[in-house]
Structure formats: structure tokens, C-alpha cells
Structure 1
């Protein structure tokens, strides 16, 4: 079977709030079977590949104490619901649904299998046996934006997005804010392709933006196609997404945002084995090593690496937060007052663009 990546589901209102089960409910007396469902292929060299590396991380850490299974290319909707149900019926006691659009199916199936622990990546609907987990991808964008601001010769970056949801908008804004910290005239042009992984659309979007003068390309899609186009066209560079994509564009990838899901998956699996699992809600980043930065390309000057490292380390020790005011939106309206740091709730509801981001068509 194959899975597809997160189709956009517009959400609103409060998260579903249900009482938590007590500790010990999910204790395992025998080998723990864990299921993973991916919206794309594990060979996408990006988001789904990174989740599958997390699965392997658990296997290597826990050995014979666990058995893992996975299903690729699962589209949101009825097919997702069916796959989740089949995994539960096959004896999986911990199931990870790794795409935002799986949320409705997780809620429905979890209610039918109260003795199974479900965890939903980048989601918002919890339940008595549904945990949530996410990564602060925007922290990596702040590092990338620092490099882009220094190295762009035109002062223009392109950003290939999947869907205009807060997770993606947050990344666009972080890239723009960090780039403009270096170069106040730095701008970002976002283009949405309405899919998480379509190499042809990603490549076409990159070509179109390069024709319009961008010389740095960033993305929140799953494959290396945009980087490969950047290499073919000889622009300054771009950034890997979800995993190190340098093998596809070794002279062009300036660094990469690497999703390191293994520690979270291991902690959840061990908690189920120990009988201490509870439906938590985690949003971790560079500090927790869930977000990592890939190696800096040799073409990135030493002073630029030093500034990028200052941003990376500042986010780890808490001395730097990219979403600290004053922040204006791209109409010139102040959104965040000087010295104020945006809350997590505000970030997770972000539906506006900062100054320097072109309004998408």
C-alpha cells in the first residue's frame, strides 16, 4: 500500500477536549506492536522518509521488545480510516498517524479501540487515547532565513508551500523575519502547489520563481525537485526540507531542516511498555533535538555560518525567538508590539504574512 501526504483540511474552533485515562491502562505484558501510517512514500527523501527513520530508530533501540509495521501513501478520508482500523485489528497497541489531514479518522477509529494508544502528528483534536505531537519547524526556518538574508544577491527568495495552513505560513514568516534581520529589503515570494509531494509541480514552481528574480529557494513540500532545479539554473542555493537532501544538489543545498522524530517515538513506545503512556501534547524543536540543522555547505561564508549558529543556539538556550515584536504584517499593520513574544496559541493560529512577504495570488 502507498500513502499520500497531508491534504489540507481547514480547521476552526476549539480542540476536542476529553478526559485523560489514568496511568497503567496501556501496559504491555508482551511484545508491543506499533503501527505507522504515512501520507507519502518513505522514499520521498523528505517528510515521510524522516518519519520512517523514526520508526527504525525505535526498532534499533528496543529490539525484540517491539514489532513495527507501516503503510505508505495513505490518502486522507475513508482509506485512512480503513487503514487505522486494520492496524488496530492486527494487534497494534500504539499507532502513529503522521499527517495533519488524518485527524478526523484518528478521532473516529480511536473511539472504537479504547485500549489502543493513538498519536497524531501536527494535529489538534485530542481524546482519552489520542496524543498529539508536533515539531517547531519554524525554528529551522529562522536559521535558513539568516543564511538567505546574507547570501541572496537579489534580496529575493521563493518559498514553495503545500497549503496555506498555520504550519506553513509560520515557516514563510520565520524565513522572512530572519532574512530581513540581515537585509531589511529582503523579500519572500510564496507559491502554493496544493499538494505535499508532486515533483513536477515543485519543479515548475521553482522555475517560475527563478524567472522572476529569486535566487534562493525554500520549501515546505516533501521532495528534492526544487533543489535540483535550483542546481540546474545555477542560483545561489536552497534548503533541504525534512531531511538532508544534499545528495541531490550537493553544490546547492546550503543547509537542511531535518525532522528527528526518533526520540519522541521511542519515548512513547517505552511509555506504553511501562504502562505510563498518557495522551500528551508536545511541540518540540531544536532544544529537544526533534528539529536539527544539516551541515552547512562549504560555500556558506564563515561569518554567515557564525550568524546562523547564533540563531540556532539562541533558540536552544531561549535567548532568541524569531517571533518577537515589533512585527508588522505585509499591509504595514502592527501585529506584535515591541518586545512581545508571540504565544504558541497565536503561532498555531497564524493566518497572516509578515512585512516582506508578497501576498500569494
Structure 2
């Protein structure tokens, strides 16, 4: 476990009274703790969270102690880690992966005086649990537009992690917005069943390229897909995920979805310090800066301008990536002409839209 402790330790030889005073001071300091599903150097999801933690640490200085643990499996191991953090004096614990949802609520029930914040989930079973998420589907719409414009084979691909609403809505947004600019586009989805496994991610990218796909989006955490795409000699392009992945500019990475959690972390930690933290359900996007869109590189000027216009329209609220008419995959109606998707439909999305072939794994 990597951690940085900001508590001041008493020098050897000081009296018990002074040591006792130091301990009391340490207890008064707010302690913010983070559970990571990957490594802080994964180049994607966990790195984005850790970058935000570093910004929060710089913001608060010695006023807040920060602790984190990397590579915590989703399941019983995460419950053990959360328990240790709660017993270790953490005032607020951020659990940064979807699979921590049930463990977070289970441990929160045992420690009602500790605040828990869960990323990307939907369950708030206790008053000391908050949830936070980002509207990644907004970034997927921009990637879809680029995919539809740039594909030469009319075959675009998506590396999916797990069949959860966040990933499914990303697939649908990517396809719908590619289809709007290129009615002939076809989408292939490869399920990796992992958030972070560079070998599997690279294999998924290779499988898509072998099938003739020439634009690939990835909903996994490492740079492995872009590394594999780069072997195609400029014939295939892709996108940064969670972090900018700038080492692959100007191509094959032509833009990226950049997660910036720092404003949220600073706000919620400050709320704990001020004593006014409340259980909330927060879902921010491009407009709030939580979903950043990386520099457009390696694209024709007209495609860049079109992508920038779409980004700005989403930020302004004048365009929603899920705007009807849209049918479900089976042809049944979902959204009428001009209707936009309610948040509840998106957060529980368990279907593909019309035009996508293949089934969602159960």
C-alpha cells in the first residue's frame, strides 16, 4: 500500500503529556482515504483519481491527512480495506470503482460516524453514504462523431469492461452519434470483463482490428489498447480514456475523455471539515468540468471543428446525446422525436439501441 502520512510525529524523548497532546491534535485533523481498483500509474482511471487526490492534497496542505490503497479487488478484500481505514481514523472514505458499491454500503452500516463516497454506483442505503459519477456518455458522443467521420471501412469498435449501465450507455452514445454522421457505420463490441488488464485490453483491440475495425474506443483503464492500435501504422485511430494518454498524440490518440474529480474531492472534504457534509447523488459532465475533452489531434480541420461544436453544444445544454427518435434494439420505441433521455433511464440502462448487433451479456 502506498500512502503519504501528513501527521506530525513527536520527537523521541518528549514527555507523555506532550505525546498525549500530539495525539489529540492528530485526532482533530481530518483524514480522507481512497480505495483504488488499479494502480496510480495505470495511465487511465486510477491515475485520474490519484491526480485529483494530489490536487486536493495541495489545496488543503497539512490541514488534511490523505491515505490511499491501490489495486484493491472488488469484493471481500475491499470490505477489509474499508474496515481498516475506518478503524484507522478515516473521516471520509472514497471508493472509486463500481464493484465497491455493495461493500461500501455494508461497511458504512458498521461505521455510521464515517462518511463514505462511492464512485459510479447507484445505491445510497445509509445516510452516511454519498454517490458521485460523471456523464461519460457526453464524451462518447464526441468520440462517436469522430468515429463516424473518420472510418474508412465503416466498421467502428468498442472495448467494453463490464455490462453495467455506465458502459452500456457509453456504447449506445458512441454508436448513435456515429450513425448520425455516417448512416452506414457498423459497431462491434468486445467484452474484456476487466477494468484493468493490459493483456486482455490489447487482445481486444487486436481482435477488432482483425475484423476490419479502424476506429476503436475503450472503456477500460490502461493504455494497452492505444499501444496495440499504434502498431497498425496509422491505419487505425483511438481515444484516450479517463486520462489524456498524451504519449500517443497526435495519432492514434485523436482526443480523449479526461476525468477531473478534484473539484468534487475538495468540496466534499471541505464539507466534512465544516460539519455540513450530506448524502447526495452527484452526476456532473462536460459543463461542470468533470468530463474533459482532450486536445483534438491528427484530424482534418473540418472534423475538428465539428467535434468542437458538438462539445460546446453539450456543455451549453443545447444538445443531448440521447435525443429521439430512438428505438431499442428490438425495434420498440424508447424516445419520441425531440425527447431526451431521463437520467433514470440512463442510470438503469440495460439495452442496446436499434442498429447495434450482438447481445448484452448477462
Q: What TM-score do the two structures reach when normalised by structure 1?
A: 0.90
Q: What's the counterpart of residue 278 of structure 1?
A: 278
1:83-98 to 2 correspondences below 5 Å: 83-98=81-96
Q: What's the counterpart of residue 121 of structure 1?
A: 119
Q: CA deviation at 1:94?
A: 0.8
- Name the SS for the 1:58 alignment partner: helix
Q: Determine the C-alpha separation between the residues in 2 that align with 1:104 and 1:277.
A: 21
Q: What's the counterpart of residue 61 of structure 1?
A: 59
Q: CA deviation at 1:193?
A: 1.1
Is 2:295 aligned against 1:295? Answer: yes
Q: Determine the C-alpha separation between the residues in 2 that align with 1:171 and 1:77.
A: 25
Q: What's the counterpart of residue 161 of structure 1?
A: 160
Q: Is the 8 A contact 1:151 1:236 kept in 2?
A: no
Larger radius of gyration: 2
Q: Determine the C-alpha separation between the residues in 2 that align with 1:336 and 1:75.
A: 38
Between 1:255-264 and 1:56-65, the stretch displaced more is 56-65
Q: Determine the C-alpha separation between the residues in 2 that align with 1:331 and 1:106.
A: 36
Q: Determine the C-alpha separation between the residues in 2 that align with 1:166 and 1:334.
A: 19
- Name the SS for the 1:247 alignment partner: helix
Q: Is the 8 A contact 1:103 1:123 kept in 2?
A: yes
Q: What's the counterpart of residue 334 of structure 1?
A: 333
Q: Determine the C-alpha separation between the residues in 1 that align with 2:188 and 2:249.
A: 22
| CA deviations over 1:207-242 (Å, ceiling 9, x no partner) | 111111110010100011111111101323001110
Q: What's the counterpart of residue 100 of structure 1?
A: 98
| CA deviations over 1:140-159 (Å, ceiling 9, x no partner) | 00111111111111111110
Q: CA deviation at 1:129?
A: 0.4
- Name the SS for the 1:73 alignment partner: coil
Q: What's the counterpart of residue 40 of structure 2?
A: 42
Q: Is the 8 A contact 1:330 1:359 kept in 2?
A: no
| CA deviations over 1:314-334 (Å, ceiling 9, x no partner) | 111110001010012333333
Bigger RCO of structures 1 and 2 (CA < 8 A, at least 6 apart): 1
- Corresponding pairs, count: 335
Q: Determine the C-alpha separation between the residues in 2 that align with 1:340 and 1:87.
A: 45
Q: What's the counterpart of residue 262 of structure 1?
A: 262
Q: Determine the C-alpha separation between the residues in 1 that align with 2:157 and 2:328.
A: 18
Q: Determine the C-alpha separation between the residues in 2 that align with 1:115 and 1:288.
A: 30
- Name the SS for the 1:314 alignment partner: helix
Q: What's the counterpart of residue 135 of structure 1?
A: 134
Check 1:286–1:67 CA distance in 2 against 1; reply closer, same or farther (3 A cut).
same
Q: Determine the C-alpha separation between the residues in 1 that align with 2:220 and 2:325.
A: 29
Check 1:177–1:215 CA distance in 2 against 1; reply closer, same or farther (3 A cut).
same
Q: Determine the C-alpha separation between the residues in 2 that align with 1:340 and 1:219.
A: 28
Q: What's the counterpart of residue 325 of structure 1?
A: 324
Q: Is the 8 A contact 1:228 1:249 kept in 2?
A: no
| CA deviations over 1:227-259 (Å, ceiling 9, x no partner) | 111110132300111001130464200100001
- Name the SS for the 1:356 alignment partner: coil
Q: What's the counterpart of residue 29 of structure 2?
A: 31
**RMSD, matched Cα:** 1.5
Q: What's the counterpart of residue 174 of structure 1?
A: 173
Q: Determine the C-alpha separation between the residues in 1 that align with 2:140 and 2:353.
A: 14
Q: What's the counterpart of residue 149 of structure 1?
A: 148
- Name the SS for the 1:359 alignment partner: coil
